[in-house]
Amino acid sequence: MRLIAAIVVLTLVAIGAGALAGLHLFAAAERVADAKKSATPPPVASSYAGSARLRKLSPIVTNLAAPANNWARIEASMVTESMSDEDAGILAAHISEDIVTYLRSASVAQFEGSRGLQHLRDDLTERAAIRSSGKVRELIIETLVIQ
């Protein structure tokens, strides 16, 4: 009888200790969840200065060099330093001309795969930077359709 009473007492002590540990862990988890909810996310660091602006170029449609029956349509934007809208419009027209010239001398094989698209983006960004004397930081290709 004493053995059964000792087992019952130990069982009740174990149940009580387990309940207290569970309540403590539950409260700690709630505190962590509340802290995550109320914490403000760190500001996103931008690689551009506050004066940088995104300017959309008009869609460009032109034929490619090889094969001759293929056409390309490209929509792009350029990241520029702060400049007047008139200067930006003129610069956008010149960059669009450069893109047409580049695409007319290119073949479809140059644009295949992710590496080809990255080379296209790098080449066009370099041409835009040269044309603008460094005022264009990046040329972002939004869409490219070859038909």
Is pLDDT of 42 > 70?
yes
Mean pLDDT confidence for 79-88: 88
> Rounded to whole angstroms, how far apart are CA atoms 95 and 55?
12
Mean local confidence (pLDDT), 82-106: 92
Over residues 108-127, mean pLDDT = 93
**Span 14-38, average pLDDT:** 91
pTM: 0.67
**Of 49 and 103, the one with more pLDDT:** 103
pLDDT at 129: 93
Q: How many separate helices (H) and strands (E) can be counted in the chain?
A: 3, 4
The pLDDT of residue 50 = 74
Say whether pLDDT at 28 is over 90.
Answer: yes
Q: How confident is the model at residue 45 (pLDDT cuts 50, 70, 90)?
A: low
**83 closest CA partner among 141, 138, 132:** 132
Per-residue tokens: 121: 């983006």
Mean pLDDT taken over the chain: 90
Q: What percent of the chain has pLDDT over 90?
A: 68
pLDDT at 59 over 80: yes
What does the pLDDT average to over 118-137? 93
Alpha carbons within 13 A on the beta-carbon side of 107:
4
pLDDT at 51 over 70: yes
